[in-house]
Amino acid sequence: MKLYSYFRSSAAYRVRIALNLKNIPYETISIHLTKEGGLNRKPEYRTVNPQMRVPVLVDSSGEILIQSLAIIEYLDETFPDPPLLPADAMERAHVRAIAQLIACDIHPLNNTSPLRYLKHQLKHEQSEIDAWYHHWVLEGFEALEAMIKPGPYICGPRVTLADICLVPQVANARRLKVPLDKFPKIVAADAACLKLSAFDKARPENQPDAE
């Protein structure tokens, strides 16, 4: 398999974790999101992903998949061991709700594209952009903290899709100096995950394109 990735991309980070948990070997193709105005904006990459974002997974048949949650659920269905979603329908819905809270409500507001738009098109100062980022992460984490079940992971004793979404978001929050002292459950779940080699190998600093 091939993974079009960028070492700092939260969405690509999620897919790297899932691939590692499933022990699926893959080749990384780096798409730098800021160099030369973003290599993802180049015409040749648009033929790979019309949305011009990462990640993109190319499976062994050459089929192209986009959107991290869709990719991860495809991997979970194709390589079912270990499962990333619970067998129980209610528990599965709870895991998906947390994953979507992070991937659909927190992350999009703090992605490279909207932050770049705030800076270049709307001419906001960096301090204002940082305040925007902090606001949406803190608001989302307040809700998430209340939803976490007894650990060590977000939804109990097994790693799920929710943890796969959590760890990259916490890494980004730390990188942009969002205070996490109000979120002990989030911090504890993140720490538990990072003890696992699948999560550690997926860290941004451990990628071939890390700077």
Whether the pLDDT of residue 117 is over 90: the answer is no
Of residues 190 and 116, the one with the higher pLDDT is: 190
Residue ranges and CATH numbers for the domains of the chain are 2-82 (3.40.30.10), 89-199 (1.20.1050.10)
pTM recorded for the entire structure? 0.95
pLDDT tens column, 48-87? 999 999 999 999 999 999 999 999 999 999 999 999 999 9
| The predicted structure's pLDDT at residue 116 | 80
| pLDDT grade for 198, boundaries at 50, 70 and 90 | very high
List pLDDT tens digits, range 28-50.
999 999 888 889 999 999 999 99
SS3 sequence of the chain: CEEEECCCCHHHHHHHHHHHHCCCCCEEEECCCCHHHCHHHCHHHHCCCCCCCCCEEECCCCCEEECHHHHHHHHHHHCCCCCCCCCCHHHHHHHHHHHHHHHHHHHHHHCHHHHHHHHHCCCCCHHHHHHHHHHHHHHHHHHHHHHCCCCCECCECCCCHHHHHHHHHHHHHHHCCCCCCCCHHHHHHHHHHHCCHHHHHHCHHHCCCCC
